[in-house]
Structure 1
Amino acid sequence: MKNIVALVAATALAAHGSSAHYIFQALAKGTAKGVPYEYVRRNTNYNSPVTDLSSPDLRCNVGGAHGGNTSTLDLGAGDPFTFTLDTAVYHQGPVSLYMSKAPAAAADYDGSGDWFKINDWAPVFNGGQATWTLKDTYSYTIPRCIPSGEYLLRIQSLAIHNPGATPQWYVGCGQVRVVGGSGSGSPRPTVKIPGAFKATDPGYTANIYNNFHSYTVPGPSVFTC
């Protein structure tokens, strides 16, 4: 009965359409909420998700291939940062952070190079229930051991709230300049986007309302110093 109620609720939420969607629109140092689109590339699809696993829009959202008028945020290696949304993440699914080092200026970089993952907010299982991290702000820290330079800092929410339908990706890219990094090599493992996610990934096809007791977030393992 519990699973049936959850599935009915998920169907009702899906019917809300765009009202249940959200945009990663601000990035700031520390725990500040930041100014929308000051350091985050502005997307052009309003709050619609990306659903095509082969699309370059998976990198930085529709319209986010280049920096345009986006500024680049200075962060020290080990500094905290916060992404803020226009409304809290509403759909169940993991939230992940990725970085990709730009060959020169982050504003000119399209994200076609290598990406590494620095954090996952995966579900927490307790007493047969899964709890997702659904918030309007997500804070983390820049790894201390990465090389200094300019990066795209990417956040993604994978919405798997509607089993049987195509999962949805909500993505935003910030531009950051990392100073004081102690690393001289390249973080590993790395992936290309698109290419990092497959339609057969268990975390992509999971039914969160039926026999849901474990979960593996799609993509590479998290890089640690």
Structure 2
Amino acid sequence: MKNFVHLAALLALTVDSVSAHYIFQQLTAGSTKFDVFQYIRKNSNYNSPVTDLASNDLRCNVGASGASTETIEMQAGESFSFTLDTAVYHQGPISIYMSKAPSAAANYDGSGEWFKIKDFGPTFNGGSASWPLQQTYSYTIPKCIENGEYLLRIQSLAIHNPWPAGIPQFYISCAQVKVTGGSGTANPTHALIPGAFKESDPGYTANIYSNFNSYTVPGPAPLTC
């Protein structure tokens, strides 16, 4: 009986790790919601996660190049949203990053520096945590960044399978944006991807089912203008 229970647990973990989940697939700029993958790089692994902390796929997802992706012009300070095919249902933080392309965003592989502009983390109340499990996440292009073309990256870090028995999962998409009207006064904390997330990060190794009273989102601190 004990072996059967152990086998069932292993099978459940295996099924969870290979099954499809969700993907950020639609961009809204201002009040206009665009077609699926119109300004978002389309990945080739459907809506499955990336789990390798050393993989370049952590930048924009598996097979997600800019070759056939349009770039949208946006004003600094303008609002945007990412919408998924289904609402996020794995506990964990949502983070939004940007990386300035050397020239055209469509030709950029994301190998340069990234900075974070927003974290959506848990709210703690009465000994329990509440995560922002939504289908749409919204924020604004920072007013203080430089003009130019960027990768605008959103990430769901799913930590529902506690490390080290389970491996945290990254659900990622990148939009291509051309920013105008920025002041260029920003001084963000930069990081490389891969490299921004480590197995030693408390936000990566957190066990949400045991003594979970505080949480630090992995990666650099978000930019403030």
Question: CA separation in 1, counterparts of 2:175 and 2:13?
Answer: 29
Deviation track 1:36-82 (CA, whole Å, cap 9, x = no partner) reads 11000000011110000000000000011x30211111110000001
Provide the residue aligned with 1:53 in structure 2: 53
Deviation track 1:84-107 (CA, whole Å, cap 9, x = no partner) reads 111111100000000000010000
Superposition TM-score, scaled by structure 2 size: 0.90
Gaps of 5+ in 2: 1-10
CA RMSD of aligned residues (A): 1.8
Deviation track 1:133-165 (CA, whole Å, cap 9, x = no partner) reads 111100000000001110000000000001120
Superposition TM-score, scaled by structure 1 size: 0.90
Per the alignment, in what secondary structure is the counterpart of residue 219 of structure 2? coil
CA gap of 1:18–1:135, structure 2 versus 1, over 3 A, is: farther
CA gap of 1:199–1:13, structure 2 versus 1, over 3 A, is: closer
Per the alignment, in what secondary structure is the counterpart of residue 42 of structure 1? coil
Deviation track 1:157-202 (CA, whole Å, cap 9, x = no partner) reads 0000011201000000000010100115x63200000000000100
Provide the residue aligned with 1:202 in structure 2: 202
CA gap of 1:39–1:187, structure 2 versus 1, over 3 A, is: farther
Structure 1 residues 211-222: aligned runs within 5 Å:
211-222=211-222
Question: CA separation in 2, counterparts of 1:82 and 1:14?
Answer: 32
Given that 2:13 and 2:166 are in contact with CA atoms closer than 8 Å, whether structure 1 keeps it comes out as no
Gaps of 5+ in 1: 1-10
Provide the residue aligned with 2:180 in structure 1: 179
Question: CA separation in 1, counterparts of 2:187 and 2:181?
Answer: 16
Which amino acid in 1 is paired with 2:168? P
Given that 1:60 and 1:173 are in contact with CA atoms closer than 8 Å, whether structure 2 keeps it comes out as yes
- Count of residue pairs brought into register by the alignment: 213
Question: CA separation in 2, counterparts of 1:205 and 1:74?
Answer: 38
Deviation track 1:182-225 (CA, whole Å, cap 9, x = no partner) reads 115x6320000000000010000000010000000000011111
Per the alignment, in what secondary structure is the counterpart of residue 112 of structure 1? coil
CA gap of 1:12–1:118, structure 2 versus 1, over 3 A, is: same
Given that 2:157 and 2:171 are in contact with CA atoms closer than 8 Å, whether structure 1 keeps it comes out as yes
